[in-house]
Amino acid sequence: MDMPAIINQMIVLFIMLAAGFAAGKAKLLTEDGVKALSKLILYITVPCTVLGSVIDGGLETAGGETLFFALISLSALILSLIISIPAIWALGGDKKTRGLYRYMAVFGNCANMGFPVTIAILGAVSAFYVAVYNIPYILLCYSVGVFLVSGKTEKFDFRILLNPSLIAGVIVILIITTGFKAPVIIADTVKLLSSITTPGSMLIIGASLSRISFRDTFKNWRLYPVMLLKLIIMPVVTWLVFKPFVADPMMLSVLVIMSSMASGTMSAIFAIEYGGDERVASSGIFISTLLSGVTIPLIVYLFLM
């Protein structure tokens, strides 16, 4: 990995994010437009990005390695959940808001930003590992994550198992284990659609950030230790714990980069749906997204190069 190239790619991503921010401010990307584009990304282009990493048969990964990485990813997420318990408890505040802080400290933006950032740093082949990582991530996000934000265990909805990205991840595992190779025209179509994911995701995040009030965004002091935990401590601990067990540099790199993602945008959506503090969630997304432009290259430079 070449550090100047990584920095250049991060700058490109943030220029696209700035374009989305400008489009949101200019009402070119309205709230309805963002929702429509989000659905396009969620239901079509991200699954295509997941499938595009293996659909042409160009990636040779054993089924055992795929299962190993899925289990390692699950272990990393559980480790983050455990670390967040005493760290967030020490911040004080009411129980429900602490749950939201724990969500923001553990669950990063592993879909919208995870794919474009990791591909920019590690190349297109990393999309497969990001897809595998997202399988346990989605299951925990929509079960434990909902519990953290809502405080209620009955909120788990088994319909999340029909999430297109999760389904695509399962198909990827089947492709790997069976050695299936799609016809060229199908592979080319999937890869062309997948090229929309990176710019589309950045436009969505930028437009969403354009709707957040700056007045109270930086006033909540508790957000800063939460962001320190999410953007620095979690990826460093992930590297320290899993480096002795993960010999494959690509697997370890994806694991660390995923753990260093900015807080996930679902925190705001869950807060709206389950009575959490939407303003706190939105502020956390905004601050962590800005800071991640510095912290991700820093983590890559210090631990992965």
Q: Where are the domains of the chain?
A: 3-298
Mean pLDDT on 179-186: 84
Residue of 69, 36, 33, 35 lying closest to 242 (CA atoms): 69
Per-residue pLDDT band for 272 (boundaries 50, 70, 90) equals confident
CATH topology of domain 3-298: Na+/H+ antiporter like fold (1.20.1530)
d(Cα 245, Cα 12) in Å, to the nearest integer? 34
Return the amino acid letter for 113. M
Tokens 């190349």 appear where? 123
What's residue 53's pLDDT?
67
Give 82-141 pLDDT, tens digit per residue.
999 999 999 887 777 899 999 999 999 887 678 778 888 888 778 788 888 888 888 888
Q: What is the DSSP letter of 264?
A: P
Return the amino acid letter for 114. G
Beta-ladder partners of 263: 108
Residues present in the chain in total: 305
Q: Are 12 and 120 in contact (CB under 8 A)?
A: yes
Q: Are 271 and 202 in contact (CB under 8 A)?
A: no
- Confidence (pTM): 0.80
Per-residue pLDDT band for 157 (boundaries 50, 70, 90) equals low
Across all residues in the chain, what is the average pLDDT? 83
Asked whether the predicted pLDDT for residue 154 surpasses 60, the reply is no
